Each structure stands twice: as structure tokens, then as C-alpha cells.
Amino acid sequence: MGQTKHQSDLIDIVHHEHDHLGRLLEDISGTFERISSGESEVADEADVLETAADDLEVTLEEMLHHFSQEEEVLFVKLEQRFPELEDDIEELVEAHETMCDKTRWLMGKIDGPAERIAAEAETILEVLEEMKQWHHDHTEKENAVFAYALERIPEQEQQAFLEEMQRL
């Protein structure tokens, strides 16, 4: 009756993280949209900018952690078992690299005084919008790769992958 079938804890957690990261990116770009549109109460207040910079930093760190769990555990396991996924996984890793480059750029931008962040809010917003698009497209491809592979791996083994990922 329209309920999502429970697949495995691993896939549920990965989907949850994808949605969570998507929401964080959505929220933070909304904040930078308000800052760059010059809504005075937002743009003038240094603490708003500092909070936005902190939120952005947390979002980027969570994203990098998620990527490293995938690259160091999940992608390795899946590629060992399903050599036919090699090209797809390579493409996923390349997308991580592009997003990491954007992350480094963003982290450099927010590592400064509030006035500088405010002055560059528009450029930051543009990169955040690109990031949102990359995250969306990447997540769709990744979910398809995971669905293919995890359908073919017993839940007990997936649990072991999950535990290994969570140790990182």
C-alpha cells in the first residue's frame, strides 16, 4: 500500500544520508540567497553570516565524511563483487572529486571575516547551486548503482559493510 519496502539498514541509512545532505544544501543555499539578495536584516548582521558560514562548514564536512565512507568501504566492496560496475563507480568517484573541489573552494571563501563573506555571497551562492545540482544528479546515479548491487548481496553481509563504514 505505497509503503517503501525495507531493503536493508545499509540502504536505508545511505538513502537517509543522501536526503539529509540534499536538505542541508537546500537550506544553506536558501540562506545565501537571502544574504546575496541584500535583505538587510540578514546581510547586516555579522552573527547571521557567521552562523551561515558555520552551517556551510558542517554541511561540507558531513558530505566529505559520507564520500569517504563510500570510497573507502562501499565502492571497494561493490567493485570487488561486480566488476561490471567499474565504469559506473569510476564516474561516481569523479563526481566526488568535482564536489570536493567545489567544497575546498567554498571552505576557503567562508574562512574569513563576515564582511568578506557578505561581499562574496553571490559567488558563493552560484557555487552552492552547482553543488546542489551535482549532488542531485550524483545521488540518482549512485542510488541506481547501490540498488543493483545490494539486491544481490545478503542483508547480513550488508550489515558488515555498514559496520565497517561506521567505524570511519
**Measured between alpha carbons, how far is 168 from 157 in angstroms, rounded to an integer?**
18
Nearer to Fe ion, 70 or 121 (CB): 70
Give the total of residues touching Fe ion (CB under 5 A): 2
Task: Give the x-and-dash track for 20-59 against Fe ion (CB under 5 A).
Answer: ----------------------------------------
User: Which three cell numbers, joined as nine digits, stand for 36?
Assistant: 546575496
Site for Fe ion in 78-137 (CB under 5 A): none
Residue 3 or 4 having the CB closest to Fe ion: 4
Closer to Fe ion by CB, 70 or 88: give it. 70
Q: Which stretch binds Fe ion (CB under 5 A): 40-48, 120-128, 142-150, 154-162?
A: 142-150
Cα gap 73→55, rounded to integer Å: 27
Helix H or strand E encompassing 161: helix 155-166
Q: How far is the CB of 139 from Fe ion (least distance, A)?
A: 6
Closer to Fe ion at the Cβ: 74 or 117? 74
CB of 138 to Fe ion, least distance (A): 6
Give the residue from 81, 76, 96, 70 showing the smallest Cα distance to 10. Answer: 70
Instruction: Give the Å distances, CA to CA, from 56 to 28, 33, 35, 36, 117.
Output: 6, 13, 13, 15, 12
Tell which residue, 54, 130, 43, 58, has the closest CA to residue 95.
130
Nearest approach in angstroms of CB 168 to Fe ion is: 14
Looking from the CA of 30 toward its CB, the CA atoms found within 13 Å total: 6
CB of 4 to Fe ion, least distance (A): 18
| Positions that interact with Fe ion (CB under 5 A) | 70, 142
